[in-house]
Structure 1
Amino acid sequence: MLRRAIAASALAFCVFAACALPATAYVPPPLAALSHDVRTIARQLHAAIGLDVLDLDTGYTAGFNASKSMPTASTIKVPVMVEVFDQLEAGRFDLNRRVELTSSDKDYGSGDLCDAPAGETFSVEQLLAKMIDISDNTATNMLIRLVGRRSINAKMGELGLERTHLTQDVRTDDWAIRRALRTSAGDLVHLLALMAHGELVDEWSSKEMIGLLEADQINTLLPAPLPEDIPIAHKTGSLADTLNDAGIVYAADAPYVIAVMTTALPSKDLGRAFIHTISRLAYTDEMQSARWRTQATPVTNDASPDVPYWDAGTPTPSPTPFPRR
């Protein structure tokens, strides 16, 4: 049923996009096709869903249950990373600061630091890389202990993330994590949009966090249906019946932020198919909007507000660049 809805939506979009656009034609807002199709597709999944997409050029959004509180799974590691960089910027420690591994930090659900002996030390730089690249839970718990859960929650509140909270360390106990680690698709998109604009902590920190997210090795969700040459800075999350992914997609002339959250899934295969469908629709919609904007007259284009975005490819001078691995 879900696949039939996906195919019908794709066919309708292709027929519509085949029409030539006169230079003076009305330019529909970005994400119009996604806004039209998403409710029908979402209701076919029979699961709890939250999604949000933000066009970084115009500020237009499309969503479904964007403010719904959902289990974060490992997407909570983005707020943890933000607080680490905030304290780095404040001078409380530097990237070379060593953090000692304790037995209570260890979690065997994701990553490999759990196999290291208690008492071994790791730099903040190493822990950040482990936490994002391979979603290491033990590295995450070490960083949470370093910066403090209260500080993470306070920072998210300061940034306007009303539905994001972390009340325990990251563990593989699905039911405990569901209660203790919560966010919404809208909160994640807001956080990543600040990062994309270079406004999260500061410009240098934003760029370095984007670089870490681009190195995420788990690329089976949002990136899977996209062209291989499209950069995406993202973070996934997974529990027994939960799949999440949130990221910044640097599509040519059409950058956007997207978060798709699913839980109470009948199967993970259906969850993956749903996230692939939304990712593909958002990308196709954004590319079509970019073509429309290019062909439209300035008068027509004025109907959409211009919201400049920070280009991750623009070099940002820094006296202390984040070392590349």
Structure 2
Amino acid sequence: MRQLIFFVLLASLTSVHAQHPALEQHLADYLAKLPSSVKVNYRVESLEGKRYASLRDDERVPSASIIKIPILVEIMEQVKAQRFELTDYYTLQNADKVGGAGTIFQEREGKAFTYEQLAHQMMVASDNTATNILIRKVGREAVNERMKTLGFPNLQLNRVMMDTAAVAKGIENYVNADEINRLLSLIYQRKVATPALCDLMVAFLLDNHDTSTLPSLIPRQVGIAHKTGTLTYIRGDAGIIFTKKPFVISVFVRGTDLNRAETIIAEIGKIAYEALK
């Protein structure tokens, strides 16, 4: 009976304004088989904003490294405004170095990186040292103001990476599936910064080294411009899948171990790909 109630509630949550009923139903059937402790947020839509399927897509969730997409957009907007150039150099300081993802923290103090190199490492390797350097360069509040201006108030950068003191106080970075999808669509449509800088952002996203989620069950020849995120309590992925008619998808999973969360994201991605290819 509890499973039946869950399925009915799930169907009601996902049926409003469905634009692809078969995909919606397939995803509902898949999610109904998961343990009740697992919580999934997702949205699948066209790059023009036609919603194919979604579940809790307006719920704010911890972003993990997916917040690096809004940071990247603000970097490119400031480059457009000529506040600095991607070819400008930054000299690494020991005080910049933080652990977690990436390898720049292993480099010697005094090594110079261009801002383009730092931005590339932030996206393809989720490098936390590069990210924090870039946050200081453009300003945390500038990122948030940019997102509000673009219509994305739930994409919030509230702390730098690996800030354990902030985490202990409950300070988090946030996204939701709806708004991160729409931001990715703007990048694809070349509607932020400049067309050339949007193309560079897509190139960075296509070069993502983490293939354990959305790309893992989709044929290798299919391009996926995406950014993953990982915390001990959430695994997420958001990106553009380049089928004949590309679409955008984001998935966030909580309430299970990270390996299982990766499998769930991959399986949702495969279901969406098979329906929309």
Q: Could you state the TM-score of these two structures normalised by the residue count of structure 1? A: 0.74
In structure 1, the partner of 2:21 is: 32
In structure 2, the partner of 1:262 is: 253
In the TM superposition, what is the alpha-carbon distance from 1:255 to its structure 2 partner? 0.8
Q: Which has the higher contact order (CA 8 A, sep 6+)?
A: 1
In structure 1, the partner of 2:15 is: none
What residue ranges of structure 1 are gaps of 5+ in the alignment?
A: 1-28, 288-325
Once residues 50 and 113 of structure 2 are traced to their aligned partners in structure 1, the CA distance between those partners, rounded to angstroms, is: 40
What residue ranges of structure 2 are gaps of 5+ in the alignment?
A: 1-17
Once residues 147 and 204 of structure 2 are traced to their aligned partners in structure 1, the CA distance between those partners, rounded to angstroms, is: 19
> Could you tell me which of 187, 192, 206 is aligned with 2:179?
187
What does 1:59-98 align with in structure 2 at a 5 Å threshold? 59-98=50-89
In structure 1, the partner of 2:119 is: 128
In the TM superposition, what is the alpha-carbon distance from 1:114 to its structure 2 partner? 0.9
Helix, strand or coil for the counterpart of 1:166? coil
In the TM superposition, what is the alpha-carbon distance from 1:48 to its structure 2 partner? 2.8
Contact 1:174 1:239 (8 Å CA) reproduced:
no
In the TM superposition, what is the alpha-carbon distance from 1:33 to its structure 2 partner? 2.0
Once residues 30 and 265 of structure 2 are traced to their aligned partners in structure 1, the CA distance between those partners, rounded to angstroms, is: 11
In the TM superposition, what is the alpha-carbon distance from 1:201 to its structure 2 partner? 1.9
> Could you tell me which of 41, 54, 77 is aligned with 2:30?
41
What does 1:203-218 align with in structure 2 at a 5 Å threshold? 203-218=195-210
What does 1:1-325 align with in structure 2 at a 5 Å threshold? 31-43=20-32, 44-45=34-35, 46-56=37-47, 59-171=50-162, 173=164, 176=167, 179-252=171-244, 254-263=245-254, 265-287=255-277
Once residues 166 and 268 of structure 2 are traced to their aligned partners in structure 1, the CA distance between those partners, rounded to angstroms, is: 27
Once residues 48 and 277 of structure 1 are traced to their aligned partners in structure 2, the CA distance between those partners, rounded to angstroms, is: 15
Q: 1:131 to 1:58 in 2, by over 3 A?
A: closer
Q: Could you state the TM-score of these two structures normalised by the residue count of structure 2? A: 0.86
In the TM superposition, what is the alpha-carbon distance from 1:38 to its structure 2 partner? 2.7
In the TM superposition, what is the alpha-carbon distance from 1:40 to its structure 2 partner? 4.1
Once residues 99 and 131 of structure 1 are traced to their aligned partners in structure 2, the CA distance between those partners, rounded to angstroms, is: 14
- The share of aligned pairs that are identical, in percent, is 29
In structure 2, the partner of 1:310 is: none
Contact 1:107 1:172 (8 Å CA) reproduced:
no
Aligned residues: 257
Once residues 238 and 85 of structure 1 are traced to their aligned partners in structure 2, the CA distance between those partners, rounded to angstroms, is: 24
In the TM superposition, what is the alpha-carbon distance from 1:106 to its structure 2 partner? 1.7
What do you get for the CA RMSD once the two structures are aligned? 2.0
